[in-house]
Chains A and B, each alone.
Chain A
Amino acid sequence: MLSCKEASMLLSQSLDQKLPLRKTISLKFHLMICYMCRRIAGQIGFIRQALPTFAQMEEEVDRPSDIRLSSEAKARIVSALTPP
């Protein structure tokens, strides 16, 4: 009988590779009886589906973020771009 910890690890792994049959069966069995891990399964699946759109928007639209180039880095890059 898998614990939730083991089940969620397998769940994550199953997004990246095909699990061996025995593990797939244990995971399915766990999901049948555990509503919490069923939620986790739905939610990490939802995140995966959202990511391609996110990636596309990242390339096209500015969003508010705390991560920015420092003003030193900006100055350095500007001067690298400017011929002496």
Chain B
Amino acid sequence: MHCGTDVLTSDGAGPDDIKASRPDEAEIPMPPARPTNPEKWVETHGDALFRFALMRVKDQEIAEDLVQETLLAALKGREAFSGKSSERTWLIGILKHKIADHFRKSSRELAVEDPQLYADTEDLFDKSGHWKVAPRDWGGSPAKALENKDFWATLGNCLEDLPDRLRQVFTLREIDGIDGPRICKVLSISSTNLWVILHRARIQLRRCLEINWFGGEKESG
């Protein structure tokens, strides 16, 4: 069910747009629909690229570096931009490769904090393991939320509110579809800690949506 580019196993070749624009197809690639203007990139795409990176790496500094590396690579490769995809998609494609490179070569990601931190579930369960706050009914068709663009903003904010490590592991697993063993390997965490982190992230995200989105809904439905 996951279909995103695997940011951890990419082969490091150029972005798809560059590959796709090689003139070995019968069709000669069209010049960019609009000429790309590097001076505007930071203003137009900087924040989105930064957010995309920050969801997947440990800290802000690394995310900033990745944005810079991405735009530098884009500057070099901009003749190859086919204009078939949007400029944003093209830049995100390059960023995915930069993130993959980062994971491949870096020991900067090594966990510094103790993931056992998240194993403490006193805030969620009482001593006998019962829910402290009973989960509410989200109403008959929570799927209706998917049609509302404010729901997506709420989901985004809830993801951003997760503690760094939870957000990172959860994003790699659920959005990029990377399997557990691979995440353990690149982030140097044990599988026990992986389960603890994913469990905590899911429960916290669920709670955040309940408070900020489904909270207004009635118990019935």
Contact = CB atoms under 8 A, between A and B. Distances in A.
A5 B121 contact: yes
Q: How large is the interface on B (under 10, 10 to 19, 20 to 34, 35 or more residues)?
A: 35 or more
A73 B64 contact: yes
Given A54-B175, A73-B64, A77-B42, A68 B130 contact: no
A51 B175 contact: yes
Nearest to B145: A50
Contacts of B156: 54, 58, 63, 65
B129 A81 contact: no
Contact of A60 (B54, B88, B146, B198): B88
A76 B64 CA distance: 10
The prevalent SS among residues of B at the interface is helix
A9 B88 CA distance: 38
Interface string B151-166: 0110111001000000
Contacts of A55: 4, 175
B158 to A, nearest CB: 9
Interface string A3-20: 111101100110111000
Interface of B: 1-4, 38-39, 41-43, 46-48, 50-52, 54, 64, 67-68, 71-72, 75, 86, 88-89, 92, 121, 124-125, 128-131, 134-138, 142-143, 145-146, 152-153, 155-157, 160, 173-175, 179-180, 195, 198-199, 202-203, 205-206, 209-210
B42 A78 contact: yes
A17 B180 contact: yes
Contacts of B4: 52, 55
The prevalent SS among residues of A at the interface is helix
A38 to B, nearest CB: 9
A25 B157 CA distance: 36
B209 A60 contact: no
Contacts of B41: 81
Interface in A27-79: 36, 39-40, 42-44, 46-48, 50-55, 57-60, 62-69, 73-74, 76-78
9 contacts: A15-B202, A48-B174, A50-B146, A57-B152, A59-B92, A64-B153, A68-B51, A77-B64, A81-B75
